């Protein structure tokens, strides 16, 4: 009964380093997405995918890459970390694709990233 | 574009008090509206939703009614408990779109 699993829980990077935030779901959900949560800003959509091989940009995609080679996994890559990317990152998945007709978003517990 | 505006927090209430968290929205079409809740250290969970005007969503004693005339979806609960302390997010989605647009969140603290 894992749901959405994010790893790692915490990460500290130096400016310019790269890393991948992992996200896996075991519910066979078509839709997966990445959000960042910043104080006073709420959640902002970075990238999303409506199925394996299909990805699209959200509100704040710059500095992030994604791929969706399988239904289960949706990793988020930071190619060259910047202090502005310090945030809490949430992966979320949903059965179906559209929010109104699909089920609710299922969130992971987040990855807290600090870039120094 | 689409956007959601929530009342700023933090909101502090005594146990058994009445809760209202205001949410208004701007959308080009006829969106679906949602309330999500985030407990400390966790991801968000869907609390309730409404997909058309005049619909009322309800769950765990919380209610919200989709008011098209005032473009609002205010969250209410008649008697809050300490366990309701969390951050509450209002969100909307166009029915033909994929993404959810979240408000900035309202922090609620309920004291015994």
**Structure tokens of B63?**
């209610």
Other CB atoms within a 10 A radius of the CB of residue B41 amount to 8
Buried b (16+ CB within 10 A) or exposed e, A50-71: bebeebeebebbeebebebeeb
Q: Which of B43, B98, B100 sits opposite A108 (nearest CB)?
A: B43
**Is B104 in Cβ contact with A31 (below 8 Å)?**
no
Q: Is the pLDDT of residue A42 over 90?
A: no
pLDDT computed for residue A96 by the predictor: 74
**Structure tokens of B106?**
């309202």
pLDDT computed for residue B35 by the predictor: 96
Chain B residues close to A38, C-beta within 8 Å: none
Average pLDDT over residues A45-59: 93
| Segment B12-69, tens digit of pLDDT | 999 999 999 999 999 887 888 999 999 988 889 999 999 889 999 999 999 999 999 9
Interface of B with A in 31-90 (CB under 8 A): 32, 34, 36, 41-46, 49, 51, 89
Q: Which residue has the higher pLDDT, B8 or A43?
A: A43
Nearest CA in chain B to A41: B104
Positive/negative CA dihedral, B40, B102, A92, A17: negative
| Segment A11-31, tens digit of pLDDT | 999 999 999 999 999 999 999
Q: Is the pLDDT of residue A97 over 70?
A: no
- A109 part of contact set with chain B, CB < 8 Å: yes
């Amino acid at each position: 009964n894992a749901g959405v699993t994010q790893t790692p829980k915490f990460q500290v990077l130096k400016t310019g380093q790269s890393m991948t935030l992992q996200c896996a779901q075991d519910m066979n959900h078509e839709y997966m997405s990445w959000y960042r949560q910043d104080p006073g800003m709420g959640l902002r959509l970075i990238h999303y995918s409506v199925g394996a091989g299909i990805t699209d940009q959200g509100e704040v995609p710059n500095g992030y890459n994604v791929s969706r080679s399988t239904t289960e996994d949706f990793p988020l890559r930071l190619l060259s970390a910047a202090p502005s990317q310090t945030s809490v990152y949430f992966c979320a998945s949903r059965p179906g694709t559209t929010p109104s007709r699909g089920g609710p978003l299922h969130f992971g517990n987040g990855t807290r990233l600090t870039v120094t | 574009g689409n956007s959601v505006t929530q009342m700023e927090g933090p909101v502090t209430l005594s146990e058994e008090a009445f809760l209202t968290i205001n949410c208004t929205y701007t959308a080009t079409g006829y969106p679906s509206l949602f309330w999500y809740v985030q407990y400390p250290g966790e991801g968000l969970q869907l609390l309730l939703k409404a997909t058309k005007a005049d619909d009322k969503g309800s769950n765990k004693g919380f209610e919200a009614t989709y008011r098209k005339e005032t473009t609002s979806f205010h969250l209410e609960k008649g008697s809050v408990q300490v366990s309701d302390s969390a951050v509450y997010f209002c969100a909307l989605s166009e029915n033909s779109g994929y993404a959810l647009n979240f408000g900035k969140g309202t922090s609620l603290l309920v004291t015994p």
